[in-house]
Amino acid sequence: MSSEIELKQLIVEIGKRMWTRNFIAANDGNITVKLNDNEILTTPTGVSKGFMNTQMIIKVDLKGKIISDSKNYNPSSELKMHLEVYKERPDIYSVVHAHPVYATSFAVAGIPLNKCVLTEAIILIGAVPLVKYGFPSTMEIPDAIREHVKNSDALLLENHGALTYGSDLLNAYYKMETLEHTASIMWNAIQLGNVNVLSEYERDRLLALRSNLGLQERVTPCDSTPMSVNKTSINNK
């Protein structure tokens, strides 16, 4: 098990990766890691995740109360959203929130990423639902995600961004990469005028493979019905 300082260092590293990959801009995004049943490490609010250091990381309890703070910094304003995930999913030990361009574009367009298109996405994140819009930093977002958290490890937040979570920080972050990679390929396929959706038979074969691999992530099976696509509209959402 990683030590607290090692986890802080990894949070800083992942923050830099998110910023470098254009998953976030300015002070966007937030990361949390669950240390144990009572303590969580969180990124600060008002700081670019591309320029963090370990002294900025704050420790809170599962209710969001500061245990040991970093001088001059406050916990992420979206901490309530992270706490809701931990509350609903005891198996989760890290949550990542970002605004990756392609995935967020689908969230703004009101289109879930729920079609059976990429094999890796079908296996690792499944159908990614669209969560109803909630006002940032309030209980509206935790209330909105609650019904989806138990069945999926990746969510699109309407007019906001994306949320992924997993058994550790790298697991949660890699799901964000998979989500954005899937969204970018979907976007390009739409521009080409066709999205080839895998059949129910192929989907079920991939889900069987997933089961054989012993993956613990929770996924909602993707939709295998065909899509009618053009550059300005998508039918059969």
- β-strand 154-157 against 161-166: which pairing, if any? antiparallel
> Among 40, 21, 46, 58, which Cα is nearest to 176's?
21
The DSSP secondary-structure symbol of 56 reads G
SS3 101: helix
Q: Residue 27 is encoded by which pair of tokens? A: 């002070």
Under 8 Å between Cβ of 82 and 40: yes
The DSSP secondary-structure symbol of 67 reads E
Active site residue 78: yes
Catalytic residue chosen out of the listed positions 13, 78, 120, 217: 78
Catalytic residues: 78
